[in-house]
Amino acid sequence: KKWVYLFKEGEASKKALLGGKGANLAEMTNIGLPVPYGFTVTTEACAEFYNQGEKLSDEIKAQVDECMKVIEEQSGKKFGDINDPLLVSVRSGAAISMPGMMDTILNLGLNDDSVIGLATKTENERFAYDSYRRFIQMFSDVVLSVPKYLFENVLDDAKEENGYESDTELTTEDLKKIVDEYKAIYKKEVRKAFPQDPKEQLEMAINAVFSSWNNARAITYRNIHNLSHSMGTAVNVQSMVFGNMGDDSGTGVAFSRNPATGENKLFGEFLMNAQGEDVVAGIRTPKTIDELGDIMPEVYAQFKEITENLEKHYKDMQDIEFTIEKGKLFILQTRNGKRTADAALRAAVEMVGEGLITKNEALLRIEPSSLDQLLHPTFDETTMVEAEALTKGLPASPGAASGKVYFTAHEAVAAVGKGEAVILVRKETSPEDIEGMNVANGILTARGGMTSHAAVVARGMGKCCVAGCDEVRVNEEAKEFTIKGEKFVEGDTISLDGSTGKVYKGSIKTVEPNLSGNFAQLMEWADETRTLKVRTNADTPVDSETAVRFGAEGIGLCRTEHMFFDEERIPEVRKMILSETVEQRKEALEKILPMQKADFKGIYKVMKERPVTVRLLDPPLHEFLPQEEADIKALSDDMNVSIEKMKEVINSLHEFNPMLGHRGCRLAITYPEIAVMQTRAIIEAAIEVNAEEGVCIKPEIMIPLAGMKTELEYLKGIVENTVEDVIAEKDGKLEYLVGTMIEIPRAAVTADEIAEVSEFFSFGTNDLTQMGFGFSRDDAGKFIGEYIDKEILPRDPFQSIDQAGIGKLVEIGVNLGRKTRNDLKIGVCGEHGGDPESIDFFYRAGLDYVSCSPYRVPIARLAAAQAVL
């Protein structure tokens, strides 16, 4: 079996076998770039190494020997030679770039003899001994975990004794002494002499790379990023070139385009007379790559041409390592450059213009969720340099915001009224905080996860939110919080970065997003490609407007209950809920009707011809009732009942399992008056807006939480009668649809029956997941993390749909539904509608549209295009 590949035997497509670094070194060798000779020990050899109980098999060792001989011939040097030694680097490289793996060892092959050879050959004894002492330190640290400080102490002592300021003042004699001391340290720590045989050095180094695949850092990294533990790493052995041979040598790193902005201009840094990672280590301040043009114009020109060719070859922005040895250029690594979302967008769009890639390739190149970063304000980068984070919570909703802290919704609203910028700080938020969240620039909570109320609502609002920030101790009563002992009171200014979860003291300048230009271009391409429609979940004209601006093609979910929490309306809503007779309830509903109608009119006016799906009241009623003593008292006064009586009624509405309780269509079945009022509001508003604006709104009335056809039959009757009444009263005309949400498993598996009554379906995948798994959405956070850690679940099913289970319910629902009504319009609303992986699934399942919060609309548009490609 072939375990080892010379660079000239490999190619870029063999990343799984040769690792990313090795595959690209091979590719560059084959297209004729100046790459130092070398070979790659494969990831399969890594697996074999573990099969053999962490040992290299004889076969692998023999193949390594053979390849070493080839490099010796190619370079005309010999490993361990006393006259002109071949030195190599040993570099790890897995298929997916992974920090935490073993560091690279440079200058391997030096020993007491070859160091003399190196000195003679280069006529630079100091350089030779400096390389040797670096090698001993690197090898000891990396291969045998001898603590670095032991070596650093020796170096510091030497400098102190001689009164030197910097390493460069060390003389050859000093370095020779240091090498002896280093070898002594090695001997003491390892209880063996420093290996003098280059072959032994090489074998130990290769072993160490393979072992590092399973060090704690690497395992943790793979766990966090969901990477397989069985891939293994490859090892690259490559002949050394020296950037530290004098002032005609150097080393650097460059990107073929600017990785921060995407600008098509070489971007990078280098250092003259330096080796390996001196550039990133920050020992000296590097020069910009442009300056290389002044120092070595010919090398610069050659390098520029190579970077351009590499980009053309890989059709992507490259991140390139290079070294110049005595005026000769060598390329040591290339890979697709990591870039910001901004840069990714600009580069992709411009590359299409340059004819480098196709529109489809550009669409596939952008990670849909990364668009999120482009839709929100961000902190000004120059100001960020000085900012120091106080603490970090969960990056619950992206964006950047500064403002004065307030602790209640009420005070937040008042402060905004006075023209202040506000950050709402709460232990956790509840529906009562909606208004405060709505006016605040950002939201900070001490508790709750990525799907907590604060996180979900903030994302929906496109508002910056940092949630579950443990170190923030909130005392809502005293109106203060502390972070690591530091106290903040009402009115103090802080800043939040919802994309990183960081919290800062004071205010930081923000920059507004730009949605035209490249962004608009990419979105246009996405729209040309996709077939899945994208709607939005919006409850207000403002949200609707935002969503339309982001390209929403309709509203897939308008939650009427959000309209009920408004400070002015909630008293009437409460009266309606607490009514003892139908008459009382109708009276209260009478007052709510004009408000609801006005809301719908506002939304219709924004949406115009675009479809609007309105869901009838869904949550359990007790969510609307007051909790605080003072509020209860106020309400009982207002309704003219005793406070005891009021508490009794409130208690009677309490449920043990509200999410499985008296909610959804069950409310309308027991209180049909509510459905009548809502239908009236929806229809009256539509008729009026059609007349006023000359549009043709066709409302879609959606009944939530149905599990049975009979529930729908009953309610559809009520809705249709109401619509007929209204149409007759108004002497108007109107087309409309009555449909249902499929969110109860029973509904999914009886979708053929349901479709006899329902004119459209919308999958409520949040509830469908909750009920399909039997996981409470509000409490599952407590154990889902562990399910994922223990690989019982691959990911949070509330974030990305569980395709095998809940997804199957969706497929069954689609198939059965369309059996009854072959043109049944089917969509999905809920968090999954904005998740790229779920969108791909919904496309395959044959849905007509997805609906997501306004700020996820562009993400869904791109993901829907990618689903087709």
**Over the Cα atoms of the chain, what is R_g?**
34
* CB closest to Mg ion, residue no: 767
> By rule CB under 5 A, what string of x and - marks binding of each residue 328-357 to Mg ion?
-----x------------------------
DSSP character at residue 827: E
Residue with tokens 């110049």: 324
User: Which residue in 238, 307, 429, 445 binds ligand ADP (CB under 6 A)?
Assistant: 238
Does 779 count as an annotated binding residue?
no
* Closest to 458 in 3D by CA, of 399, 416, 401, 397: 397
Catalytic residue among 46, 67, 376, 453: 453
Interaction between residue 36 and Mg ion (CB under 5 A): no
Does 766 count as an annotated binding residue?
yes
Q: Where are the beta strands (DSSP E) in 490-631?
A: 493-497, 502-505, 510-511, 533-537, 555-559, 612-615
Does 615 count as an annotated binding residue?
yes
Does 805 count as an annotated binding residue?
no
Half-sphere exposure in the Cβ direction for 843 (13 Å, CA): 23
Question: 238 is in the binding site of which of ligand ADP, Mg ion, none (Cβ under 5 to 8 A by kind)?
Answer: ligand ADP
Residues forming a β-bridge with 4? 41
User: Which residue in 114, 124, 256, 323 binds ligand ADP (CB under 6 A)?
Assistant: 323
Does 657 count as an annotated binding residue?
no
Beta carbon nearer to Mg ion, 258 or 333: 333
Beta carbon nearer to Mg ion, 181 or 767: 767
Does 104 count as an annotated binding residue?
no
User: Which residue in 232, 377, 399, 764 binds Mg ion (CB under 5 A)?
Assistant: 764
Q: Name the segment binding Mg ion (CB under 5 A); options: 270-278, 404-412, 437-445, 758-766.
A: 758-766
Q: Name the segment binding ligand ADP (CB under 6 A); options: 233-241, 286-294, 366-374, 708-716.
A: 233-241
Q: How far is the CB of 381 from ligand ADP (least distance, A)?
A: 25
Beta carbon nearer to ligand ADP, 324 or 348: 324
Instruction: List, in sequence order, the alpha helices (H) in 517-569.
Output: 518-529, 541-549
C-alpha to C-alpha distance for 282 and 529, rounded to whole angstroms? 46
Write out the two tokens for 130: 């400096």
In total, the chain counts a number of residues equal to 869
Asked if residue 444 lies in contact with residue 386, where contact means CB atoms within 8 angstroms, the answer is no
Beta carbon nearer to ligand ADP, 321 or 848: 321
User: Which residue in 174, 316, 321, 802 binds ligand ADP (CB under 6 A)?
Assistant: 321
Interaction between residue 332 and ligand ADP (CB under 6 A): yes
Question: 445 is in the binding site of which of ligand ADP, Mg ion, none (Cβ under 5 to 8 A by kind)?
Answer: none
Backbone φ and ψ for 265, nearest 5 degrees, come out as: -155, 135
Note if 453 is an active site residue: yes
C-alpha to C-alpha distance for 801 and 794, rounded to whole angstroms? 11
Using DSSP's 3-state secondary structure scheme, residue 529 falls into helix
Question: 241 is in the binding site of which of ligand ADP, Mg ion, none (Cβ under 5 to 8 A by kind)?
Answer: ligand ADP
Q: If binding means CB under 6 A, how many residues of this protein chain bind ligand ADP?
A: 14
Residues 22-41 that bind ligand ADP (CB under 6 A): 36
Does 765 count as an annotated binding residue?
yes
Query: At 396, which helix (H) or strand (E)?
Result: strand 394-397
Asked if residue 240 lies in contact with residue 88, where contact means CB atoms within 8 angstroms, the answer is yes
C-alpha to C-alpha distance for 787 and 605, rounded to whole angstroms? 46
* Closest to 496 in 3D by CA, of 605, 614, 377, 580: 377
Q: How far is the CB of 704 from Mg ion (least distance, A)?
A: 6
Q: Name the segment binding Mg ion (CB under 5 A); options: 76-84, 456-464, 566-574, 756-764.
A: 756-764
Instruction: List, in sequence order, the alpha helices (H) in 553-581.
Output: 570-578
Sequence-distant contacts of 499-502: CB under 8 A, at least 24 apart: 499/372, 499/373, 499/376, 499/378, 499/395, 499/398, 499/399, 499/400, 500/392, 500/395, 501/392, 501/393, 501/394, 501/395, 501/396, 501/466, 501/469, 502/389, 502/391, 502/392, 502/466
Question: 36 is in the binding site of which of Mg ion, ligand ADP, none (Cβ under 5 to 8 A by kind)?
Answer: ligand ADP
Using DSSP's 3-state secondary structure scheme, residue 749 falls into helix
Q: How far is the CB of 251 from ligand ADP (least distance, A)?
A: 6
Interaction between residue 767 and Mg ion (CB under 5 A): yes
Question: 767 is in the binding site of which of ligand ADP, Mg ion, none (Cβ under 5 to 8 A by kind)?
Answer: Mg ion
Beta carbon nearer to ligand ADP, 260 or 280: 280
CA 690 to centroid of chain Cα atoms: 42
Q: How far is the CB of 81 from ligand ADP (least distance, A)?
A: 17
Question: 276 is in the binding site of which of Mg ion, ligand ADP, none (Cβ under 5 to 8 A by kind)?
Answer: ligand ADP
Interaction between residue 91 and ligand ADP (CB under 6 A): yes
Q: Which residues of this protein are in contact with Mg ion, per CB under 5 A?
A: 333, 743, 764, 767
Q: Which residues of this protein are in contact with ligand ADP, per CB under 6 A?
A: 36, 89, 91, 104, 106, 238, 240-241, 276-277, 321, 323, 332-333
The annotated binding site is made up of 559, 615, 743, 764-767
The annotated binding site for Mg(2+) is made up of 743, 767
User: Could you list the active site residues?
Assistant: 453, 829
